[in-house]
Amino acid sequence: MTTKKKQVSRRSRYTTRSKSSKAPAGRIKRFLRACSVAAITSFSVASYVLNPQWHEQFALEPILSQFGLANQQIAPQVTVSGAQAQTHFAQCPQFFPTARPPSVPAGEALRELCFSSFAILHSGQTKTPVFVAQRLNRQMLVQARAMQRTDRFYAEARLPRAERAVLDDYRGSGYSRGHMAPAGDMHDTEAMAQSFSLANMVPQNQTHNAGAWSRIEQDTRKYVMRAAGDVYVFTGPVYDSRAETVGEGHVTVPRHIFKVVYDATTGKSWVHWQANSANTKAGPPISYNEFVRRTGLVLLP
């Protein structure tokens, strides 16, 4: 009896050791599997961010949902109370000349988008910017001269699908994808890539875009090159009640396009006001006060 008990006892110890040795091995396998999934997902997200031309073909939301981050990608919506909406742009205040960012006429689906070299207040109704804000100086534009234009347009993934323009909206429309923050102002590769977000575009008459409007952009850069410090520029569209739309997404075509220029050193400001049409000429600017009267946009201090 004693010998049998010893044999049973040895078998019990062996079985216990076998089970306990399997447990750590199982945990290690699960740990390695989790690390692999995390690494693959991180690589996918990084590749997506660094290649904005993929945004139109692939959805980022399914990848981010694995980490519970999908909702963080949606741009914050502006809270509207009364006739005016006060913006905040807490993530990118550097693009505005004072601590109090612009206020605009109240509207639906207004969202704030921060990029590395500009900021956009976007309208989900028109699927275009309300305005695009930039801070420019001589050093930036000197660097911008060495940049190569990429022309890789993409839909903005941080906007809900129902509020954003897509590439097909512009195809065959007869309008160009008109930059509000110009590609010619972008001083590094990240800024250049981001400038081709469709959130930065409006349907613009092709002749106007390549002609009078291009000269205004060039003249603005010439002024910045001569300025003593930072120059703040706000660019955007103006619509009327009978505005045309393009594409299945009904992206609204502006009647006018504006560019507000504000020299923070001298306090001087002026506004280029252009009809979005082929026969528009580059005429004299209007005053900032007249611009506010026409649009209700309070962009400067």
For the chain, the structural domain boundaries read 2-50, 76-295
The pLDDT value given to residue 31: 58
pLDDT tens, 59-102?
444 444 333 334 448 999 998 888 999 999 999 999 999 999 99
Residue 18 has pLDDT above 70, yes or no: no
What mean pLDDT do residues 180-196 have? 98
Instruction: Tell me how many degrees the CA angle 246-249-253 measures, rounded to the nearest 5.
Output: 35
Residue 3 has pLDDT above 90, yes or no: no
What mean pLDDT do residues 189-194 have? 98
Whole-number Å distance between alpha carbons of 135 and 117: 8
Residue 213 has pLDDT above 70, yes or no: yes
Reference 221, options 231, 212, 211; nearest CA is 231
pLDDT tens, 117-152?
999 999 999 999 999 999 999 999 999 999 999 999
* Average pLDDT for the chain: 85
The pLDDT value given to residue 241: 85
The class of domain 76-295 in CATH terms is: alpha beta
The pLDDT value given to residue 73: 85
Give the pLDDT band (50/70/90) at residue 198: very high
Whole-number Å distance between alpha carbons of 29 and 83: 59
Whole-number Å distance between alpha carbons of 260 and 285: 9
Q: Would you please indicate which residues are annotated as catalytic (active-site) residues?
A: 179
**Residue ranges of E strands in the chain:** 84-86, 103-105, 110-114, 119-123, 128-136, 175-179, 201-205, 231-238, 245-246, 251-252, 256-263, 269-275
What mean pLDDT do residues 249-270 have? 98
The pLDDT value given to residue 35: 56
Percent of the chain with pLDDT over 90: 72
What mean pLDDT do residues 197-215 have? 98
| Count of CB atoms situated within 10 Å of the CB of 18 | 9
Residue 197 has pLDDT above 60, yes or no: yes
**% helix / strand / coil in the chain, to the nearest 5?**
40, 25, 40
61-70, 160-169, 245-254: the lowest-pLDDT one: 61-70
